[in-house]
Structure 1
Amino acid sequence: MMGLLLRIVVFVLFLPFLAASRNPALNDDVLGLIVFKADLRDPGSKLVSWNEDDDDPCHWLGVKCDPKTNRVTELSLDGFFLSGKIGRGLLQLQSLRTLSLSKNNFSGTLSSDLLRLESLRNLDLSENKLSGPIPDDFFGQCRSIRSISLAKNAFFGAIPPNVGSCSTLAALNLSSNRLSGSLPCGLWSLNALRSLDLSDNNLVGEIPVGISKMYNLRSISLHGNRLSGHLPDDIGDCLLLKSLDLAGNSLSGSLPESMRNLSICTYLSLSSNSFSGEVPTWIGEMKSLATLDLSRNGFSGQLPGSLGDLQLLEVLNLSRNGFTGSFPEPLRSCKSLVDVDLSQNSLTGNLPLWVFELGLQQVLVSKNKLSGSIEIPPTSASTLQVLDLSSNAFSGSIPEGVGKLKSLEVLDLSGNRLNGSIPSQIGGAASLKELRLGKNSLKGAIPTQIGNCSSLTSLDLSQNNLTGPIPPTLANLTNLQIINFSRNRLTGTIPKQLSDISHLLSFNISHNLLSGDIPSGSFFNTIPPSSLSDNPGLCGSIVNRSCPAVLPKPIVLNPENSSPNPSSGSTLSPTGLHHKKILLSVSALVAIGAAAIIALGVITITILNVRARAAASQSAAALALSDDYLSQSPTTDANSGRLVMFAGGDPEFSAGAHALLNKDCELGRGGFGAVYKTMLRDGRPVAIKKLTVSSLVKSQEDFEREVKKLGKVQHPNLVALEGYYWTPSLQLLVYEFVSGGSLYKHLHESSASNALSWQERFDIILGTAKSLAHLHRLDIIHYNLKSANILLDGSGEPKIGDYGLAKLLPMLDHYVLSSKIQSALGYMAPEFACRTVKITEKCDVYAFGVLTLEIMAGKRPVEYMEDDVAVLCDMVRAALEEGRVVGCVDGRLCGKFPVEEAIAVMKLGLICTSQVPSNRPDMGEVVNILELIRCPQDSQEEELG
């Protein structure tokens, strides 16, 4: 061993001379790799076969050699869980052509010396923890390098301007870092480049002219940055371009005509920008397009008929624009079409029959102005999986042919003008998972055949005119999670069999005419009273109404009559007649008393309703007079109020001021203000946050600029900001409505039988981590992460709210942050107490660590007891040191969780709550760790592959 150490010391001291040697000794590669290994931590013992006593390393794991020279030509250690620095020992591998160290935990900065290896062709350091700026001289060291990938690290700063020095570079991937600044003009000097990926960074400015010099370019991805301005006019001169992804920026203007030359382009995504004008007719000349995504822009006008020339088109997404006219008939010529999304436009006319005949899998046309009846022809293809026609003006009845769509998984016809009954043929849609027919004028009974839809998880028939009973066959739907029959005229009792549905999460039958007692069972024992309200005949402890006792009917016999047949014609004796009169008198008294009580109750309720309506009207009038926000159009003077919805359309609420900010509609309160639920005019629910920090809010210009930035933030685990309202004295933020309630309620206010499962908890932790990582990539710090600010949607997915609101304030001083935003004790990072320490995203990491422990333990961050205060972080850390951390896992899981994964997650939570900010990982690293915890076997399969 001493001999090895001596060799390593000699090697390091004389490394410059060895690297310059033209005739290296046979074992120089061995020594170089051993020195490289000495700088590493290898928890999986992947490099155990690397033995310094071997003559050559050609049989070592991850190493490949030239069979003629036995010199190392390839070092591939992807996914080995290695950590540490990338040492200088690799510089001894003078014949190395491929160096791939991706999917590890290497840290530190990037060394320019790696590109000094003359034989190096491929360098892949992606998905590690490398950080710092890319050295200015890094690309200046290029020799014959062909591909470089530094993706998914934490590099920051500008892309070095000498990037154009790598004249042989064919692939450059710097995606998912924190690179900033503008695109260097030197990029366009890489005329050998075939693939360029700079996505998910913080790049700004315009795309410089000159891209046409890259005549070999096949793929370019700049999505998820902050690029602005127009597309360069010469972008269409990259004639070999097959994929162009510029989504998620702030690009504007119209599409340059040169793009018509991109005849072999198969993928074009310009979504989530600010492009405007009409879609040009020459779009049909891009005949190789398989994916065309122009969603979330400001395009307008009618859709060009030339779309029908795109014979290879598979995915068409034109949603969230301002398109008008009828459903584009020429699309029926696109025989390869699979997915069509035209939702949230202003299309009119009927839904063409060919939509059901073309072999489509997904059709989304919600929130348009389509009308007429829905017809499903007998020749319908059975490939359709998702059909969303919601929030239009369709009328007539639901077609019976819907039962023939055997592959249909989601059917959403809500928010239309449909009438008639629900066809019994609906039971033929065996694959149906979500059925939404709410907000129509449907009548008749709920068909019993709906119990044949065995895959159904969500059933919404609310706000119709349905009558009759709830069919007991619903109990056959063992996967059912959500039932909403509210606001109909259903009668009868709640079937007892429904208590057997084990996955039921929500059951809303409010505002009907149901009666009888409420079933018992795990779900119904904790059902909220609001889900049962306005059913006068329902009884039970949940609705605070006792059920009447069922008494046997009294039997009165004539004691002097020996005949057992009461109809035998015998007469009652005077004594028997006296008994009958007494019984009748008692019955009459009971009936009279009951009638009196009911009448008194009706009178009382009527009086209270009249008073409540009067009070509500006065409240509404007062609010309307003070703020007058609903009476203003979007184009009125800014001082009197302006409501802006990012998706366009008619930005008005369906109710008056009293319904918008009425106490009865309040969902909760936080550090920034109260949140209310209301409905838009199109019938869609939204959540309104009324800011109570008006005195601290920036000017209207700054406020609108920051809010519009937040409106562009898109992630599945973030509550979407859909609009805002401004006056100097009132600011409202319009968010998407998330129906599942807060994580806080699920953790601390639910019974053991409804406790979150291990898988649900892990998914919430992972989803929260992904959304925070996304915010941090956009330089947005949450500041107020806590379980009360995490909402769960209908499928249990977490959605974080209240992000980025601190940017609305004029200064991020510690007083504002601690008193207004970080209102929940226990989540605050220790640096909040120090005025000299800079507040960074590591504060969010700390709060995430606390949240992780809260989810795992089912306990609040701080628990107050009679004589003590228990801090969750300290409790778990002490348990870990004593080897009993498993005992900290929420007892409601009853041992149903993988112990190793639970321990790993709790350790990660403790690491995130380190007192020193630099010791906390960033959220991108947290996501990687969680994914490794969840799927360790996948990593092993990658290693073996």
Structure 2
Amino acid sequence: MRILFGVSLLICLFPILVKSLSPSLNDDVLGLIVFKADIQDPDGKLSSWNEDDDIPCDWVGVKCNPRSNRVSDLVLDGFGLSGTLGRGLLQLQLLRKLSLAKNNLTGRISISFAQLSNLRVLDLSENSLSGSISNDFFRQCGSLRSISLAKNKFSGHIPESLGMCSTLASLNFSGNQFSGSLPPGLWSLHGLRMLDLSDNSLDGEIPKGIEGLNNLRGISLRKNRFTGEVPEGIGDCFLLRSIDLSENSLSGGLPSTMQKLTLCNDLVVGKNGFTGEVPEWIGEMRSLETLDLSENNFNGHVPDSLGKLPSLKVLNVSKNSLSGILPESMRNCVNLLTLDISNNYFTGELPSWPFEFGLQKLLFSDNRLSGNVDNAFASSLESSRHKLVILDVSKNQLSGEIPPSAGGFSRLHLLNMSKNSFAGSIPASIGQLKILDILDLSGNQLNGSIPLEIGGATSLKELRLEKTSVGGNIPTSIGNCSSLVSLSLAHNEIIGPVPASLAKLTYLETVDLSFNKLTGTLPKQLANLGRLKLFNISHNQLQGELPAGGFFNTIAPSSVSGNPSLCGASVNRSCPMVLPKPIVLNPNSSDADPGTIPQSFGHEKKILSISALIAIGAAAAIVVGVIAITVLNLRVQTSTSRSAASLTFYGGDDSHSHTSDGNSGKLVMFSGDSDFRTGTHALLNKDCELGRGGFGAVYQTMLRDGRSVAIKKLTVSSLVKSQENFEREVQKLGKVRHDNLVALEGYYWTPSLQLLIYEFVSGGNLYKHLHEESGGNYLSWNERFNIILGAAKGLTHLHQMNLIHYNLKSSNILIDSSGEPKLADYSLARLLPMLDRYILSSKIQTALGYMAPEFACKTVKITKKCDVYGFGVLVLEVVTGKRPVEYMEDDVVVLCDMVRGSWEEGRVEECIDSRLQGKFPVEDAIPMIKLGLICTSQVPSNRPDMAEVVSILELIRCPSGGQVESGSGMGSGSGSGLG
């Protein structure tokens, strides 16, 4: 407490003390203690600083002059200090070096270090200091020789007063936000040896007069916005060793005076707009070790004079318009380590001399090189110096076979030979590349199969063999490539199964096996690959059920399409199951033959058995299912009596029902009308199939009066409750009637087959209207609003009847002929034995993105608020026109997160469906988006009730009734966090 009080008193009295105290040893103690009071020291690095000490010379980071015992150096680099720079440092009058680099200091520099007349070195680099620097800051810069403010957040112009620091030898302002042009006085600093202004926003031309810096050793103006030409005077800076002018907008040619810079080691001018030929005089810069002319507009040939640069280690001329062949004189560049000539127009064969010198990086991609690579590869292996790490010859016109000698590049990390005309097979020697990270042979004309030896490349992270025409099986040895992250074998002739050994590759993120001839079932173990982001098996001949769990629960439908025998929710195709024997549908017939059709169907009697025996598998040939679906296809005519039926029919009230035997079914129509014109045909003919969902397939058929109905064949038979419970729940659903709900007309029951009969809605579902309509045939804003409002009303009615929908999504909202929405598939989870979260998520919630977070938490009760969450997603889907989950090439975008992020960043208008832009006042959609975000709150109690949602929507439609924000759940008190 005494120390804290003392420090506080010192801070208050500091201005008086500075004036009243005569210089003494205590001045340094006082200054350092006051400095410490202004900063935070979370790691306690300055704990040795004690105000009771007479001198601070033994304090951490402090160095004193041994003669005067005054502080000469204060070096606190990387101490983790934060806070601001206070006036205490000005008390250190004999300070020569102040280095506070690599800390977390913030704020502006409010003090002038020019008052420290003995200061030679000032290093404040790698902090978070900000603001502009006063133009007078360097007006009295004393004897400063080195200034580094690098890697902070300084902005504004570089002060003009900097030109008065005549003793300055090193200036580093890199990595800030300085703007404007260079101050002319900068070139008057004749003692300057190092100048680094890189990575800022400086602009204008490089001023003339640079020849005044005749002591300059290094200059870096990289990554700014400089324009114009390089001043001729740069050639008079004879001592220059390093020049970096890259990543600007400089133009013209390189000034010929630069040939006088015979001491220059590094010339880096990439990513500019330089033009003309690479000058012949470049060979006069005999000391060059790095020459980077990349990403400019140089043309013509590479000059022979490059052969005069024996010290050259790095040559990068990529991304220009150079042509011809590399000069043979470059054989003299015996120290070359990196050669990058990619993205030009070089011709001829692959030169062999670069492979002889022990280069580490060879990049020849995207040129017009031709011929084979045999001689070049052999040259490298014959040399005892081969150290090749990167070899890229992609996007050329190379041909011939990939030589087995490729396996001799034992230090190779990247081998890219893609997009050429290589033929033949993949050499088995590739497996000898033990430390290879990336192998890309895609886009060639290879044949044969993937060699079993590929498993020897155990360090492989990326394997790309797409569009190579390889065939055969995927070798099981690929499971030995334990580091594999990306595997692409698409567009080939590969046959056989997907090997189970892929499941051993725990780092796998992307797998593309599309457009091959793969067969068999997918190994169930693949579901254990926890890092998968893409698994594309589309357009093969795979069959059976997809692996359950993990990534495969949310796999994109496009990744599994084109496999006719695959089944599961993602392909919208139910897996086969064993069903009861065929049902005879003639409940009122007295005919002795229960398998006949009434005479009204035709002149001949036909058996209605619809057994469909599906043979799958090769060796096992297991019968997986006999599909027996018949639906209510007979006329009820009292004049036509046939044999006694095994199917019992009841119309209207079910109070007279009785139990049928185990081989017959029970049909109940709530309206009493059981006359179906083409019901059985509908189930036999896939043309009558309307679609498939998490509960089963839906077919269309017609009643006697010409009214269509939709029949859902449930595919959760093994999960459905007993007949008694099933019928009790269906009877409840049959009493639900609302204009915005699809009416349940009846049902059919056997222990292994259940059918639900619904009214037919002709306008298709909302998903197709939003995401599959082409051209200008899309929903208008008014149509979208009415659909949202109607869906809200239907959901509200369900909740008022104490029913939860559980499966709200755009494909379960049907549009009738008048444009009114009707909710389908509601409350079908009540037919299951328990509201198990796994069942709800895997069997019902087949569309990722609509499920409330409660489904992931077993301790949180599933309530009506789960429906509110799904409704919120639906609102955002309708307003944005985007799917709840979008699968990108290398990412997955969740709609709720994307819209919420845009809202927080003030870019919410960008989320509105682009097809609506200019078609309605954009501000009308903002309250809808806000409603959607509040409904999708992570906390259930923060979501409004559906009745409140309807009220809010009515307010949005008629805003005169009040502001949207005044509605329940829309204000700041809702806990949503939305402003």
Cα contact 1:540–1:547 (8 A) shared by 2: yes
Counterpart residue type for residue 552 of structure 2: F
Label 1:147 to 1:551 Cα distance change in 2 as closer, same or farther (>3 A).
same
Partner in structure 1 of residue 219 of structure 2: 220
| Structure 2 Cα separation of the partners of residues 788 and 310 of structure 1 | 60
CA spacing shift, 1:523–1:154, aligned 2, 3 Å = closer
Q: Is the 8 A contact 1:96 1:119 kept in 2?
A: yes
Q: Determine if contact 1:339/1:361 at 8 Å carries over to the other structure.
A: no
User: Within the alignment, does 1:425 sit opposite 2:445 as a pair?
Assistant: no
Give 2:473's aligned residue: 445
Structure-2 separation of matches of 1:796 and 1:244: 43
Letter paired with 1:435: L
Is 1:507 aligned to residue 535 of structure 2? yes
> Tell me, what secondary structure is at the counterpart of 1:490?
strand
Q: How far 1:72 moved relative to its partner?
A: 0.4
1:247 aligns with 2:246: yes
- Determine the structure 2 residue equivalent to 1:525: 553
Q: Within 5 A, what are the aligned runs for 1:345-364?
A: 345-346=344-345, 347-350=367-370, 352=373, 353-354=375-376, 357=381, 358-364=386-392
Query: 1:778 is matched with which residue?
Result: none
Q: 2:464 aligns with which of 430, 436, 439?
A: 436
Letter aligned with residue 510 of structure 2: I
**Alpha carbons of 1:753 and 1:146: their partners in 2 closer, same or farther (altered >3 Å)?**
farther
Partner Cα separation in structure 1 for residue 260 and residue 939 of structure 2 = 61
2: CA distance between counterparts of 1:535 and 1:6?
A: 81
Alignment of 1:311-390 (within 5 A): 311-326=310-325, 336-346=335-345, 347-350=367-370, 352=373, 353-354=375-376, 357=381, 358-368=386-396, 370-371=398-399, 373-375=401-403, 377=405, 380-390=408-418
Q: 1:559-570 maps to which residues of 2 (within 5 A)? A: none
Distance 2:443 2:855 in 1: 35
Q: Residue 748 of structure 1: CA displacement?
A: 8.3
CA distance in 2 between partners of 1:324 and 1:291 (Å): 21
Q: Distance in 2 between matches of 1:186 and 1:246?
A: 20
2:431 alignment partner in structure 1: 403
8 Å CA contact 1:265–1:289 kept in 2: the answer is yes
Within 5 Å, give how 1:276-291 maps onto structure 2: 276-291=275-290
Alignment of 1:232-311 (within 5 A): 232-307=231-306, 310-311=309-310
Instruction: Give, in angstroms, the shift of residue 482 of structure 1.
Output: 1.3
The SS at the match of 1:463 is coil
Residue 7 of structure 1: CA displacement? 5.7
Distance 1:44 1:874 in 2: 41
Deviations 1:785-813 (A, max 9, x none): x9999998749999xx99xxx9xxxxxxx
Q: Cα 1:859–1:587, aligned 2, differ >3 Å: closer, same or farther?
A: closer
Q: 1:165 to 1:517 in 2, by over 3 A?
A: same
Q: Does 1:12 align with 2:112?
A: no
Selected match of 1:541 from 558, 563, 569:
569
Unaligned runs of 5+ in 2: 346-366, 581-606, 616-625, 629-680, 691-770, 779-846, 858-879, 914-932, 949-967
CA shift for structure 1 position 367: 4.3
Q: Which amino acid aligns with 1:535?
A: N
May I ask how many residue pairs the two structures share in their alignment?
A: 641
Query: In the TM superposition, what is the alpha-carbon distance from 1:253 to its structure 2 partner?
Result: 1.9
- Secondary structure of 1:186's aligned partner: helix
Report matched runs for 1:453-492 at 5 Å.
453-492=481-520
Q: How far has the Cα of 1:452 moved from its partner?
A: 2.4
Deviation of 1:817 (Å): 7.6
Q: By how many angstroms is 1:872 displaced?
A: 10
Cα 1:453/1:5, change in 2 over 3 Å: closer
User: Aligned partners of 2:274 and 2:88: how far apart in 1?
Assistant: 51
Does structure 2 retain, via aligned residues, the 8 Å contact 1:339–1:363?
no
Task: Say whether the 8 Å CA contact 2:407–2:429 is kept in structure 1.
Answer: no
Query: TM-score w.r.t. structure 2 length?
Result: 0.57
Residue 28 of structure 1 aligns to a residue whose secondary structure is: helix
SS where residue 550 of structure 2 aligns? Answer: coil
| TM-superposition CA deviations, 1:639-689 (whole Å, max 9, x none) | xxxxxxxxxxxxxxxxxxxxxxx97999xx9xxxxxxxxxxxxxxxxxxxx
CA deviation map 1:390-448 (0-9, x unaligned): 34454444344322322210112223444443333322222111011223333333233
1:362, distance to aligned residue in structure 2 (A): 1.7
Cα distance in 2 for partners of 1:223, 1:788 equals: 43
Q: Is 1:366–1:392's contact at 8 Å kept on the other side of the alignment?
A: yes
Task: Deviation per CA, 1:716-753: give whole Å up to 9, x if none.
Answer: xxxxxxxxxxxxxxxxxxxxxxxxxxxxx999889999
Cα distance in 2 for partners of 1:870, 1:290 equals 66
Q: How does 1:108-127 map to 2 (within 5 A)?
A: 108-111=107-110, 113-127=112-126
CA distance in 1, matches of 2:217, 2:114: 24
Higher mean displacement: 258-267 or 209-218: 258-267
Partner of 2:839: none
Deviations 1:439-468 (A, max 9, x none): 333333323332222221110111223233
CA distance in 1, matches of 2:254, 2:101: 37
> For residue 142 of structure 1, what is the aligned residue in structure 2?
141
Contact persistence 1:327–1:349 (CA under 8 A): no
Distance 1:4 1:187, change over 3 A: closer
Normalising by the residue count of structure 1, what TM-score does the alignment of the two structures yield? 0.59
> Could you say what secondary structure the match of 2:113 adopts?
helix
> Aligned in 2, Cα 1:540/1:250: closer, same or farther, shift over 3 Å?
same
2: CA distance between counterparts of 1:544 and 1:790? 18
Q: Residues 133-189 of structure 1, C-alpha deviation per residue, up to 9 Å, x if partnerless? A: 222222221222111011222322221223222222121111122211111222222
The residue type paired with residue 13 of structure 1 is I
Kept after mapping to 2: 8 A contact 1:344/1:365: no
Aligned equivalent of 1:731: none
How far is 1:122 from its partner? 0.6
Q: CA deviation at 1:598?
A: 13
Structure 1 residues 215 and 502, CA gap change in structure 2 (3 angstroms): same
**How far is 1:329 from its partner?**
6.8
Percent identical among aligned pairs is 51
Q: Do structure 1's residue 869 and structure 2's residue 868 form an aligned pair?
A: no
Query: Matches of residues 193-208 of structure 1 in structure 2 within 5 Å?
Result: 193-208=192-207
Kept in 1: contact 2:848–2:884 (CA 8 A) = no
Which residue identity does 1:223 align to in structure 2?
Answer: R
Question: Secondary structure, in 3 states, of the residue corresponding to 2:405?
Answer: coil
- Whole-Å separation in 2 of the counterparts to 1:748 and 1:337: 58
Structure-2 separation of matches of 1:296 and 1:321 = 6
Residue identity in the other structure for 2:171 = L
Is the Cα–Cα contact under 8 Å of residues 396 and 418 in structure 1 kept in the other structure?
yes
Q: What is the one-letter code of the residue matched to 1:387?
A: L
Q: Which runs of 5+ in 1 are unaligned?
A: 553-583, 606-661, 670-744, 756-783, 807-813, 825-850, 878-912, 916-945
Q: How far apart are the structure 1 equivalents of 2:305 and 2:315?
A: 13
Alignment match, 1:925: none
Match of 2:844 in 1: none
Would you say 1:173 and 2:172 are equivalent positions? yes
Preserved CA contact (<8 Å) 1:291 1:315: yes
- More helix by proportion, 1 or 2? 1
- The code of the aligned residue for 2:368 comes to T
CA distance in 2, matches of 1:754, 1:295: 52
* Structure with larger Rg: 2
CA distance in structure 1 between the aligned counterparts of 2:852 and 2:168, rounded to whole angstroms = 58
- Alpha carbons of 1:134 and 1:541: their partners in 2 closer, same or farther (altered >3 Å)? closer
Distance 1:30 1:160, change over 3 A: same
Pair 1:29–1:600, CA change in 2 (3 A): same
Task: Work out the CA distance in 1 between the residues paired with 2:115 and 2:973.
Answer: 47
Aligned to 2:667: none
